[in-house]
Amino acid sequence: MTEMKEMPVLPFTKELKNPYWSYLYAYNIRTIRDIFVYCDYKEQIEEKAVYKDIKELRIPPPKDKWINPKRKRPERLILEYIHATEYLGLIKRENATILPNFDEFEDEKRIIIEEGNGRLFNPSEVSPPFTEREKKALLTIILNYERAKDFLRWFLAFSEFPDIWSFDINDFRKEAKPIFISGKMEKGKKGSSILKRTVDSKTWRIPTEKPDDYTRIVSYLFPNWFRELGVIDKVYVFPEFSEDKKLWHMYYPIKINEEQFLKKNVSKILQDIFLKDRSQKMVSIWMPQLLYILARKFYCPVSAIKKAIERVYEKDFSHFHLERTSLQVMKKHSTYKESYIKVGGFYRSSLMIVKEKNYDGRA
């Protein structure tokens, strides 16, 4: 790998409409939505009352709890989420009061409010998944945030898209190519500092010089946001099959949805990829590598690939067999868990494909 100091630094936008506190660390985009809908539900609410209601779990926590007793500053997490909701223009402050903000993107914000009608906001409620209308509305709002568009631009050819205003989400879905973010964190770092771009086959440095440190928002925040909104997805590229024998996280654009992929003849696709023009009649493919190959070929969600594989197994298990892995292996290699398929209460680590007698490899 090229020495770090010799790598080019990824370009980013330096002129921001709102430069103050422009690095957001609210990793769960649903929680940002929930704070906005809750403030609209209340119409107006004192800022201290928001903190109180959050602590009482009236707004669902981003993970399993809002306040971790081990945190030195337990209210910092709440502050980060309130700030992110305000920075994105979903709420605003008037003196000590917080109000929903409809000054910009009113149509999109009304859609989010409509989709949240009927929510109870009590401690037993969990944050609901986004509807498709919410995803589209919230994406429009987020794409007005320059640092978010910097991240998406890194999937694209810089010569064709010279700045963040030169492309829209349709351009992204059509022209974007996968990026790889190092899965190994350097000692003392809070995220990765290395990114490989498929579009130019180069390894780049993520901006890390303060005050423009993109490390955490590129390693965690934007991947979480854009995966949740259905713009990108992720597969692990493990050392067992990566070109440089290192761990990478591959993020790739979603170009066809789950429904479109499931309409394909996946059994034929699997035989075409792994058995066509080969003498052997069977082959076993490790599940993480299978996900990687199909994701790069079809640019569909990981969930669609897993569902399709499970379907061919259930429909024709004599030619497609999902092999179990032991609990001991899962405990030893927990990083594999997300890449395996769980069927019948067991994690399946590999897919064995047996060539069908009538398979001839023709289109």
Tokens read off for 33: 């939505």
Domain ranges of the chain: 29-126, 149-253, 258-354
Give the chain's count of helices (H) and strands (E).
Answer: 14, 12
Mean pLDDT of the chain: 91
Residue with tokens 């037993």: 124
Residue 282 forms beta bridges with which residues?
A: 354
pLDDT of residue 117 exceeding 80: yes
Percent over 90 (pLDDT), the chain: 72
Cβ neighbours for 243, distance < 8 A, ≥ 6 positions apart: none
Of 25, 336, 7, nearest to 203 (Cα)?
7
Tokens read off for 296: 């790069």
State residue 273's pLDDT score: 94
Rounded Cα distance, 29 and 148, in Å: 13
State residue 1's pLDDT score: 46
Q: What would you measure as the largest C-alpha separation in the chain, in angstroms?
A: 75
pLDDT tens-digit series, residues 182-233: 987 655 457 888 999 999 999 999 999 888 899 999 999 999 999 999 999 9
Tokens read off for 348: 């399946």
State residue 65's pLDDT score: 61
